[in-house]
Amino acid sequence: MDDGSRLVVGVDIGNSTTEACVAAVDAAGRVQRLGSALTRTTGVKGTPDNTDGAVTAVRRALEGARRDPAGLDLVLLNEATPVISGLAMETITETIITESTMIGHNPSTPGGGGLGAGTTVPIDDLVGDAPVPGGPSIVVVPRGWDFDRVAAVLNDAVGRGLELVAAVLAHDDAVLVANRLTGEPAGGAIPIVDEVGAVERVPLGMAAAVEVAAPGRTIRTLSDSYGLASVFGLDPDQTRQVAPVARALTGNRSAVVVRTPSGDVSDRRVPVGELVLTGAGKTLRVDVDAGAEAIMDLLGRVQPLEDATGEPGTHVGGMLAQVRDTMTDVTGQPAAEIRIRDVLAIDTFVPREVRGGLAGEVALENAVALAAMVRTSRSRMQVVADRVAGALHCSARIGGVEGEMAVRGALTTPGTDRPIAVLDMGGGSTDAALLTADGACTAVHVAGAGELVTKLIDSELALDDRDTAEQVKWYPLAKVESFFHVRHEDGTVQFFTEPLPAHVFARVVVMTPDGPVPVPTRHPVDHVRRVRREAKRRVFVVNALRALRQVAPGGSLRMLEFVVLLGGSALDFEIPEMIADALAGHGIVCGTGNVHGTEGPRNAVASGLVDAWATEPAGEQAGELAS
């Protein structure tokens, strides 16, 4: 350049994004930042595949700064070692209904109300002039029956002496049928449960009970062990057996229980194999179904972790093996040399359709989610540097180690000072680095970050759609209350002058920049919000504390003074405050990074690379540019 300054680009290749920062550095080492850009990382971080992403980021940054790529003097890359993380989930409980004893069911519109106990009778048996069954009867109506005809047959049968106490319907007709019953008790007074999809599997000629609670209430008798004992005349042993039925029905507005000779609801633990953790000269084993707490306790006893393996044939074993294999493919290191360096276990739950259920009943099964991370010391960034140099016709070199550069960039946040720790919250791993007052830098990576949060939200809300889960993670929720207004999750309302689309009417929505997007769930806003915040807390707050303890002198958080949050998840609308809350008790100043007072939590490493180079003696700089 004419004024003797150099055009330099710092490039930070991260797990999910590659950032570039363009600057002009003059002969006196003064840095004038010209612009930055961001793109998706190509390939696994720290491998030659990164070249494309790095070149794209550099070109975009130059374009944004309106600089001619031909004038580019030097590209600086971070020394990054591959960090590969994996996720797996093991469901550790299973609810099975045998012999169709129970329908725990929340149709949106059950009919009538109260409790009816009697014998199950098919409606076909009531057609014509045949004598009606004696005793209290619960009529079971298969699909294909029209509501008017059901009501007519029932009214006729009651006229001939049927003691009708309840009905179970396949279609969504309960209110319609209830409104058309004329017999005693007066129409509407018997409980009717509808939308029972597998109604043909309801055992006939068996003792049964149907309960429908008043609007806004939940059932009281069938969800109570002694209520069931009273209805069916059970002895203490039998009552013990039906206790799981009562528990499974808790919270429903309507339910059907059929007592069959050997019917049962069982809630069993699924053995899912062992996790073997090695470290600190010990090898310890834990059953994955013991839960996250037991796994994390064990992990604490083998720190620093040297390796982890899972039982072949289990999800966790498969995931750990796959992480290892991917690293082998990426680095060419033999699998035997690759070690799992961290795991994070989290207790979660998965809504699953109950085996043997009749109306699509869903049970919340317990599960353990596990994130694992592997890193190697073998970096291939020099290859990336050579290829970038070739593609851009300029010099390129490795300008510094990631953790140190991140700290250097974070230190440009107004109001910070040494000792300073950074928490880089990315997609696959959470990284911490500490720069002490005397200039020593230490860094760690722990498993579990944004991807794990998305996965927890996806499975706990049974969304089965990663994109929706990602939106739930990123944006606040609201409930569409009319065609013209929404109520946000904090209770405030917002009016719209254009009508909101009908497909979001009365639904829980995510308020994205493109407008409200419906969340396919029956849960209220509060529940979805709780799931989202808990997922973030269990991953990021837990990992922030774990990672900072590993870099803090003596493992004591009190020795830290400034903590700066960096990375994509530092842009989240609530994660920074959750971490700041958790650290406040330790006398730590914690906040979101604002690199150079303008860049926010992005670009710390990329601009740190440029700043580091600018402070180097001029002779070394010249040597690089000449080569």
Partner 1 sequence: MTGPARHGGTPERPSIVVRHHPDAPVAVLREVLAGAEEEGVPVLAWPDPTAGAGPPGDGGAVALAHRAARRSPLDTGVGIDVDGAVAVHHAKLPPRGPAFVEPAPAAAVPAGPAPPAAVSTGPAPPAAVSAEPAPPVAVPDEPAPPAAVSTGATSSAAVPDVPTPPGRRAGAAAARIVTGLPLPLDGPGRCGP
- Site pattern 461..490 for partner 1 (x: CB under 8 A): -x------------------xxxx------
Q: Which of residues 156, 204, 225, 247 is near partner 1 by CB under 8 A?
A: 247
395: its two tokens: 């010099």
The nearest distance, CB 482 to partner 1, in angstroms, is 8
Residue type, position 260, single letter: T
Element (H, E) at 602: none
Q: What are the Cα distances from residue 573, in Å, to 174, 320, 519, 563, 568?
A: 45, 32, 19, 18, 11
Residues 253-282 binding partner 1 (CB under 8 A) are: 253
Residues 522-541 binding partner 1 (CB under 8 A) are: 522-524, 527
Q: Which of residues 94, 156, 163, 172 is near partner 1 by CB under 8 A?
A: 172
Main-chain phi, psi angles of 14, to 5 degrees: -105, 180
190: its two tokens: 């018997």
Contact between 159 and partner 1 by CB under 8 A: the answer reads: no
Could you tell me if 313 and 416 are in contact, meaning their C-beta atoms sit under 8 angstroms apart?
Answer: no
Q: Cα(242)–Cα(360) distance, rounded to whole angstroms?
A: 20
The nearest distance, CB 288 to partner 1, in angstroms, is 23
Contact between 220 and partner 1 by CB under 8 A: the answer reads: no
The nearest distance, CB 204 to partner 1, in angstroms, is 19
Contact between 336 and partner 1 by CB under 8 A: the answer reads: no
Could you tell me if 591 and 408 are in contact, meaning their C-beta atoms sit under 8 angstroms apart?
Answer: no
Label residue 319 exposed, middle or buried (CB < 10 Å: 0-12, 13-18, 19+): buried
Q: Name the one range near partner 1 by CB under 8 A: 58-66, 144-152, 465-473, 540-548.
A: 144-152
Residues 58-77 binding partner 1 (CB under 8 A) are: none
Where does residue 100 fall: left (phi above 0), alpha (psi -120 to 50 degrees), or beta otherwise?
Answer: left
The nearest distance, CB 568 to partner 1, in angstroms, is 31
Contact between 180 and partner 1 by CB under 8 A: the answer reads: yes
Could you tell me if 80 and 331 are in contact, meaning their C-beta atoms sit under 8 angstroms apart?
Answer: no
Q: Which of residues 27, 40, 134, 146 is near partner 1 by CB under 8 A?
A: 146
Contact between 152 and partner 1 by CB under 8 A: the answer reads: yes
Q: Cα(261)–Cα(287) distance, rounded to whole angstroms?
A: 35
340: its two tokens: 């799992």
Number of residues near partner 1 (by CB under 8 A): 69
Residues 490-509 binding partner 1 (CB under 8 A) are: 499, 501-503, 505-507
Question: Which C-beta is closer to partner 1: that of 393 or that of 522?
Answer: 522
The nearest distance, CB 182 to partner 1, in angstroms, is 5
The nearest distance, CB 7 to partner 1, in angstroms, is 53
Q: Cα(325)–Cα(401) distance, rounded to whole angstroms?
A: 26
Q: Name the one range near partner 1 by CB under 8 A: 66-74, 159-167, 358-366, 540-548.
A: 358-366
249: its two tokens: 């029905």
- Residue 572 gets which letter from DSSP? S
Q: Are strands 274-279 and 282-287 parallel, antiparallel or unpaired?
A: antiparallel
Report DSSP letters for 58-97, one per residue: HHHHHHHTT--GGG--EEEEEE---EEEEEEEEE-EEEEE
Contact between 141 and partner 1 by CB under 8 A: the answer reads: no
Q: Cα(475)–Cα(208) distance, rounded to whole angstroms?
A: 47
569: its two tokens: 């998840």
The nearest distance, CB 153 to partner 1, in angstroms, is 9
Q: Name the one range near partner 1 by CB under 8 A: 175-183, 312-320, 578-586, 612-620.
A: 175-183
Residues at the interface with partner 1 (CB under 8 A): 95, 102, 104-109, 143-149, 151-152, 155, 170-176, 179-180, 182, 187-188, 195, 197-198, 215-216, 218, 247-253, 351, 353-354, 357, 359-364, 462, 481-484, 499, 501-503, 505-507, 522-524, 527
